[in-house]
Structure 1
Amino acid sequence: MTNQAEPLLVIDIGGTTVKYGVWADDQLRQKDRFDTPASWPELLAKLTTVKDSFALPFAGVAVSLPGGVDTVVGKISGTSAVDYLNDFPIKATLRTAFGVPVTIQNDANCAALAESWRGNAKDVTDTLFLIVGTGVGGAVTRNGELITGQDHFAGEFGYMVMTPANETLSQLGSPVRMAQRYQRLRELPTAMTAEDVFDLANNGDTLAQQCVGDLLNWLSLGAYNLYVGLNPQRLLIGGGISARPGFVADLQRRIQHLMHQQRAALTADVRPCLFLNDANLIGAVRQFYLEMGE
């Protein structure tokens, strides 16, 4: 058992960005980020440098990362947004590199842990989480407990096949993919961000409006299917896009419209994650404390 008064290094490894910070005095501090490196040796070297730069007596390291995470064995199975993290004892490797206890948990599960612990799901027991970023992840809580499934794959909603062409929700509902699609259709030489496309849509760009509308339609369809399949008390939306004004409200309207069309006697309670981009980091802290018996 560790002392909660001692600081933790908290890391969130994503397909595009690695975020990190220090959990101390019951708060997340000194947050920063860097681009996700192209290989595991580069990432490990960067994380080691980050840890050493703080010069703090860390009680441990709490890591959020993509994929089917086995928190006990300490490995990631299947595929993920960062393929080189898969199928090796990553937890033990990090423990050796850092010299302190290490915990790992799926990124969407971390968001669920954070929101159920201190966020917008702390007052309900049955919740779905849809985490929208480079891909689409998710999580499920039932009776207040995180559901992971026998293969640690529960909540990987991005793998849902949405079209006869086998396109998945991660392909169709990712803001990153939406921006890439806009850039390709416009034949632009420089990369676009989702924020760029949303701004263009607001300024009357018809192609941008179509791309944003398609994104929202696919996400609302996926969320509707989850609602009628699992009947949660609440659906929380995470990822950076959830902070955009009006995004979650628009998504809720579309989901409710689908319910009305299909005569599903349900009400969509859709909210953003309270912790927004910090949800994965705070949830990693919760996972650490749970594993340490605190």
Structure 2
Amino acid sequence: MSNQWIAGVDLGGTTTKIAFISMDGDILHKWEIPTDHSNEGQYITSNIATSIMEKLEELGQSKTVLAGVGMGAPGPIDYETGVILNAVNLGWSDNFPLRDSLESVLSLPAAVENDANCAALGEMWQGAGNGAKNLVCVTLGTGVGGGVIANGNIVTGVNGAAGEIGHITTLPVGGAPCNCGKTGCLETIASATGIVRLAVEEMNKPNSKGELTNIFNRNKKITAKDVIDSARKGDPIAVKVLNEVAFHLGLALANIANTLNPEKIVLGGGVSKAGKILLDSVQDYFDKFAFPPVKNSTKLALATLGNDAGVLGAAWLIKNKFIG
């Protein structure tokens, strides 16, 4: 059994990351394919199956080398049934039977979990968690996801929607609309999309100037990376935007820590690549809002696995469920 591999899949709205992973958590091969959500996402799982089979053939391996396939997908998932309850960015109808779909196209045991939960499991197993059994992982990407691990187990809640940190309401009045249908969610501020939105709002004010404004005027658009890079150079609009992001993130994380008192809160996803300029500011607000015993025992850390956290956590699902 120890020589078997696990296929780990991290399903995203734009691309799907796939990896073959050893039982010890070593990534043996990894690649990605575009996510095709045309025709209500009907090709997503078959495309993944085709890609896995092609890669096995390329490596001269048969399907028997795989112990199973684990997948992280965006949205709340009922882990017991493998049903994704709601996938706003993938085209699937509500209550899509994701695990059954995967098992039927691959004829392999499958396990599915929310993508942020998978990232949390990956960081616990092989990353910044360093084996911490009480851990919260927050992924700051196109959206904001969260995974909560208590005593080594994912907290799923009554129907799989636990850990939806991105949908904590951080602006009860006057917040921007979120894809989930609410307004003022943390995701509308602390995601890459939210950062761009805040920056564009600032630049649309009269007499806007500075490096970020120049980039915007030149390219007719900006990215979250532009905002972060400009903040490092002291651009006033970029600094103001990142401070607002840090305030809302620090407040939300303090409230999460006050509730759970985890050993670590790990920040991952593309936005976390801002590194120290964001983390230091988030830490300041976290310290301001956290209950003193929590502030002294819960550590904030940057994820160490980068884009590999999701596939590793997805593989861990199979290792844990079928192999132990």
TM-score by length of 1: 0.87
Q: Confirm whether residue 5 of structure 1 aligns to residue 3 of structure 2.
A: yes
Alignment correspondent of 2:177: none
Q: 1:100 to 1:264 in 2, by over 3 A?
A: closer
Deviations 1:88-144 (A, max 9, x none): 211111211122222211111112222222333344332222221121111222223
Q: Confirm whether residue 57 of structure 1 aligns to residue 62 of structure 2.
A: yes
Deviations 1:241-271 (A, max 9, x none): 3243313343223311334xx8676324101
Q: Confirm whether residue 285 of structure 1 aligns to residue 315 of structure 2.
A: yes
- Which amino acid in 1 is paired with 2:10? D
- In 1, the alpha carbon distance for the partners of 2:103 and 2:228 equals 41
| Pairing of 1:245-256 with structure 2 (within 5 A) | 245-246=275-276, 247-256=278-287
- Which residue, out of 50, 72, 95, partners 2:80? 72
Q: Secondary structure at the match of 1:103?
A: strand
| RMSD after superposition | 2.5
- In 2, the alpha carbon distance for the partners of 1:75 and 1:191 equals 38
Q: In the alignment, is the contact (CA less than 8 A) between 1:242 and 1:276 conserved in 2? A: no
Q: 1:25 to 1:76 in 2, by over 3 A?
A: closer
Alignment correspondent of 2:231: 201
Q: How many residues align?
A: 290
Alignment correspondent of 1:141: 149
- Which residue, out of 157, 176, 194, partners 2:193? 176
Q: In the alignment, is the contact (CA less than 8 A) between 1:180 and 1:192 conserved in 2? A: no
Alignment correspondent of 1:98: 106
Q: 1:105 to 1:85 in 2, by over 3 A?
A: farther
Q: Secondary structure at the match of 2:45?
A: helix
Q: In the alignment, is the contact (CA less than 8 A) between 1:10 and 1:20 conserved in 2? A: yes
Q: 1:35 to 1:212 in 2, by over 3 A?
A: farther
Deviations 1:174-203 (A, max 9, x none): 123312443564665654332122112223
Q: Greater CA deviation, 203-212 or 186-195?
A: 186-195
- Which residue, out of 270, 277, 290, partners 1:240? 270
Q: Greater CA deviation, 237-246 or 132-141?
A: 237-246
- Segments of structure 2 that go 5 or more residues without pairing to the other structure are 175-182, 205-212
Q: Secondary structure at the match of 1:292?
A: helix
Q: In the alignment, is the contact (CA less than 8 A) between 2:255 and 2:289 conserved in 1? A: no
In percent, how many aligned pairs have the same letter? 26
Q: 1:254 to 1:160 in 2, by over 3 A?
A: same
Q: Secondary structure at the match of 2:323?
A: coil
Cα displacement (A) at 1:232: 2.0
Q: Secondary structure at the match of 1:62?
A: strand
Alignment correspondent of 2:44: 43
Q: Give the greater-gyration-radius structure (CA).
A: 2
Q: In the alignment, is the contact (CA less than 8 A) between 2:268 and 2:306 conserved in 1? A: yes
Q: Secondary structure at the match of 1:154?
A: coil
Alignment correspondent of 2:180: none
Deviations 1:143-173 (A, max 9, x none): 2322111111111111111112331011111
- In 1, the alpha carbon distance for the partners of 2:294 and 2:316 equals 35
Q: Confirm whether residue 112 of structure 1 aligns to residue 120 of structure 2.
A: yes
Alignment correspondent of 1:33: 32
- In 1, the alpha carbon distance for the partners of 2:13 and 2:248 equals 21
- Segments of structure 1 that go 5 or more residues without pairing to the other structure are none
Q: 1:88 to 1:208 in 2, by over 3 A?
A: same
Q: In the alignment, is the contact (CA less than 8 A) between 1:12 and 1:107 conserved in 2? A: yes
Q: Secondary structure at the match of 1:61?
A: strand
Q: Greater CA deviation, 221-230 or 281-290?
A: 221-230
Cα displacement (A) at 1:63: 0.9
Alignment correspondent of 2:167: 159
